[in-house]
Amino acid sequence: MDLGISGKWALVCGASKGLGRGCAEALVREGVNLVVNARSADALQQTAAQLREEGARAAGAAPQVIAVAADITTPEGRAAVFGAAGGPGKDFDIVVTNAGGPPPGDFRDWDRDAWVRAVDANMLTPIELIRATVDGMAARGFGRIVNITSSAVKAPIDILGLSNGARSGLTGFVAGAARSSIAARGVTINNLLPGRFDTDRLVGTINAAAAKTGKSVEEVRRMQQAAIPAGRYGTPQEFGAICAFLCSVQAGYMTGQNVLADGGAYPGTF
Ligand SMILES: NC(=O)c1ccc[n+]([C@@H]2O[C@H](COP(=O)([O-])OP(=O)(O)OC[C@H]3O[C@@H](n4cnc5c(N)ncnc54)[C@H](OP(=O)(O)O)[C@@H]3O)[C@@H](O)[C@H]2O)c1
């Protein structure tokens, strides 16, 4: 299916590896030009080079890929990515918000500073990115925002309290913003909720679970996968394909939604 977004410009944050990279790959294959962001310059440059090759191979028209190494949770980092697209965020047609998740732990150990860091990275940063881009999108009559959040928004995970809390704040904000006046002007905002996907981030949470329970890492992996109806972790490629669909022309009537990708792990009817 042609997603109708070839030639558009997308900002994909946290894109050097993992889920952000999966989204960047799926978009570049559709011929979307990219500004990709992560903090480590070397890893990001390598990814950008591979994305250029992937785009040239799949999309034919060799989409542009610009790498901006910056911390997206800072005002300076956001200014750097907006500068790369030629203006203060007005030129992006698609924005995929993403950054590292907060550390796991016990809520008794988190002080105010820990909470401020989590809220800043996983709630206020996506809101700042939305604020900077939606009006330009609405003026041009097309825009897609996809926030990478977490299945923890629907089914909280005890050791990820910082994530449960901060991302729920973003989810509430998006529910209102997506239904504001921008909805009638071609702009959609949706959240994409990963369950367990095989990335470096997952390795971190598995190690924490192993340390907490005294089980081996292999045992935790086996038990986690057995608890997922699909019987396995998801892949960044599967995640990216859903993201690209949410960014498509065809998904224009879908906004304010929380789309869960978890291999059936969430047990509810809705
Ligand atoms: N994987 C899962 O199963 C899962 C499940 C639920 C939720 N999530 C959430 O989904 C998001 C992505 O997870 P992932 O598994 O893809 O993680 P990952 O494999 O660790 O990749 C994270 C990416 O984000 C970049 N990044 C981190 N902090 C950043 C910052 N401040 N500014 C710019 N880039 C930053 C990293 O590069 P640098 O380190 O070089 O910046 C890397 O490219 C996280 O918020 C995670 O909590 C993941």
**H/E run at residue 176:** helix 161-177
Ligand 1 lined by 197 (C-beta under 6 Å): yes
pLDDT tens readout for residues 57-77: 986 778 999 999 999 999 999
Among the listed ranges 2-16, 81-95, 229-243, which one has the minimum average pLDDT value? 81-95
- If you measure from the C-alpha of residue 181 to the centroid of ligand 1, how many angstroms do you get, rounded to a whole number? 31
Ligand 1 lined by 17 (C-beta under 6 Å): yes
pTM of the model: 0.96
- If you measure from the C-alpha of residue 112 to the centroid of ligand 1, how many angstroms do you get, rounded to a whole number? 23
Ligand 1 lined by 194 (C-beta under 6 Å): yes
- If you measure from the C-alpha of residue 101 to the centroid of ligand 1, how many angstroms do you get, rounded to a whole number? 6
Given a contact cutoff of 8 angstroms between Cβ atoms, the answer to whether 187 and 135 are in contact is no
What is the arrangement of strands in the sheet containing 258-261, beginning at the earlier edge strand? 65-69, 33-38, 9-12, 94-97, 143-148, 187-194, 258-261
Ligand 1 lined by 8 (C-beta under 6 Å): no
| d(C-alpha 100, C-alpha 82), whole Å | 20
Among the listed ranges 17-26, 102-111, 115-124, 177-186, which one has the minimum average pLDDT value? 102-111
Which atom from ligand 1 is nearest to the alpha carbon of 38? 34
Confidence of residue 255 (pLDDT cuts 50, 70, 90): very high
Ligand 1 lined by 149 (C-beta under 6 Å): no
Q: Which of the 8 DSSP states describes residue 104?
A: P
